[in-house]
């Protein structure tokens, strides 16, 4: 199992038998490079393996008497599990999935409330298996794999309980000016929090609003010309041109990848297997991100992305079609709650496939909760008919007007890959009779393109339970 996810942690590998539990870990070294190898022990028989980052680990260290033995952010997760404070797990701020096991047979498994970091499990023959990717599990038990739910805690007794809700109810903000101010201040804090690392940090810069704002905040917080930005697209890509302009304006060290139709065709099957999904829109956006991650990993180990802003501030075109305010509010909550097996799954897999960690500041719990306090009518298109008007207003002056108010494009479209991928997919599926074809164990394909991706998916992950894959049926 460890070998199958070696790409996620190219910097080290560790394992340990702890009572009845076997722990294994592949490490991507980002914090405490010298002493942060895992499993990490408590000194009293408990050991931890963790995936992700806990951004407030220094604050937690200052507030607890736990005898830390490393400077690793992951060790505060071990301290939280062993704490007498029932709220300790909820105090962890970041993206994480971790397991703590003890010599006495105890075991605790936890996943962050948004589900930024992946976790799967399978109960087979009295044994419970956990892993960060579906591919890690032996083929013989794939039919038993389920996704571990975000925001939940499980222990060796079989108890599964929610330790923190994603959305915390609060009063609506009464003033639009106050909302704009809070959006600006909170977004800046969330981006800066995710710049925590002992290695260089960069940003995926598509040229769209969300990543451009992240790049501007990072550049403002760091010494001049020390932040690396990365963009990818075909030679005629509108994203590339916009990203170039943003990078020049904010002062990042900019890197571009110009790829061809042949490059897209070459990596497409590997990308479908990598993201563990065959959903067409996800695949289209994953290919340029996969190629981009491959280039980026040669320079930095950590990148910030703009994931989540569209769900917080009604950025997608289909939100415009919802006229009832309560229905739109429900759609936004559903969008955030479902990101863990759509956009976040793609972002995790394409980056970690190359030993690169993606961080998502717009999905910080402070920003998620702030967005829930904003009256829904303020999230509708503003003066220029543009989505995410509040977010644009909040950063007036941070970007040139034409970039701040640039219309949104889907990444696969703006990067110039969507048409190439559709043509490739359609060339693999006959014009007639495709709708009657089935790939064993998978739902009915909704298009010729999806059928092509299903075939590629089955080549990598045959035997996975339809129950696990049902989430794609309405994606």
Instruction: List CB contacts of 314: < 8 A, sequence separation 6 or more.
Output: 328, 332, 379, 380, 387, 388
Residues 203, 227 contacting (CB under 8 angstroms)? yes
For residue 342, give the nearest of 277, 422, 415, 272 by alpha carbon.
277
Residue 103 labeled ligand binder = no
CA distances from 390 to 123, 168, 188 (A): 46, 21, 15
Instruction: List CB contacts of 177: < 8 A, sequence separation 6 or more.
Output: none
Instruction: List CB contacts of 475: < 8 A, sequence separation 6 or more.
Output: 279, 281, 282, 342
Residues comprising the binding site? Answer: 73
Residues comprising the binding site for L-glutamine? Answer: 73
């Amino acid at each position: 199992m460890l070998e199958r996810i070696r790409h996620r942690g190219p910097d080290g590998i560790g394992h340990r038998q702890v009572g009845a539990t076997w722990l294994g870990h592949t490490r991507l070294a980002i914090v405490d490079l010298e002493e942060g190898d895992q499993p990490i022990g408590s000194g009293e028989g408990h050991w931890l393996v963790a995936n992700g980052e806990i951004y407030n680990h220094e604050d937690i260290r200052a507030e607890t008497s736990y005898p830390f033995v490393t400077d690793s952010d992951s060790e505060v997760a071990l301290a939280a599990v062993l704490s007498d404070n029932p709220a300790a797990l909820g105090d962890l701020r970041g993206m994480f999935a971790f397991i703590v096991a003890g010599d006495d047979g105890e075991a605790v498994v936890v996943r962050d409330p948004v589900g930024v970091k992946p976790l799967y499990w399978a109960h087979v023959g009295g044994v419970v298996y956990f892993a960060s990717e579906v591919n890690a599990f032996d083929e013989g038990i794939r039919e038993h794999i389920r996704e571990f739910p975000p925001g939940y805690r499980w222990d060796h007794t079989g108890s599964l309980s929610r330790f923190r809700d994603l959305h915390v109810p609060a009063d609506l903000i009464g003033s639009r000016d106050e909302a704009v101010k809070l959006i600006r201040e909170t977004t800046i804090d969330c981006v800066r929090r995710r710049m925590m690392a002992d290695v260089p940090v960069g940003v995926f810069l598509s040229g769209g609003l969300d990543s451009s704002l992240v790049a501007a905040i990072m550049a403002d917080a760091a010494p001049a010309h020390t932040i690396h930005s990365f963009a990818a697209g075909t030679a005629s890509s509108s994203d590339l041109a916009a990203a170039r302009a943003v990078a020049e304006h904010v002062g990042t060290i900019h890197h571009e990848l110009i790829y061809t139709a042949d490059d897209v065709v070459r990596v497409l099957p590997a990308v479908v297997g990598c993201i563990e999904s065959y959903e067409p829109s996800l695949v289209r956006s994953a290919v340029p991100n996969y190629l981009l991650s491959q280039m980026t990993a040669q320079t930095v180990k950590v990148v910030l992305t703009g994931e989540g802003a569209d769900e917080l501030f009604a950025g997608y075109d289909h939100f415009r079609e919802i006229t009832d305010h309560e229905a739109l509010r429900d759609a936004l909550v559903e969008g955030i709650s479902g990101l863990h097996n759509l956009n976040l799954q793609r972002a995790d897999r394409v980056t970690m496939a190359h030993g690169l960690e993606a961080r998502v500041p717009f999905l910080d719990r402070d920003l998620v909760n702030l967005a829930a306090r904003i009256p829904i009518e303020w999230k509708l298109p503003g003066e220029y008919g543009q989505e995410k008007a509040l977010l644009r207003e909040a950063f007036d002056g941070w970007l040139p007007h034409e970039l701040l108010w640039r219309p949104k494009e889907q990444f696969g479209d703006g990067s110039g890959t969507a048409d190439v991928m559709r043509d490739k997919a359609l060339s693999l599926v006959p014009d007639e009779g495709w709708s009657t074809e089935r790939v064993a164990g998978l739902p009915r394909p909704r298009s010729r393109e999806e059928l092509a991706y299903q075939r590629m998916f089955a080549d990598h992950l045959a035997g996975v339970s339809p129950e696990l894959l049902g989430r794609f049926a309405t994606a």
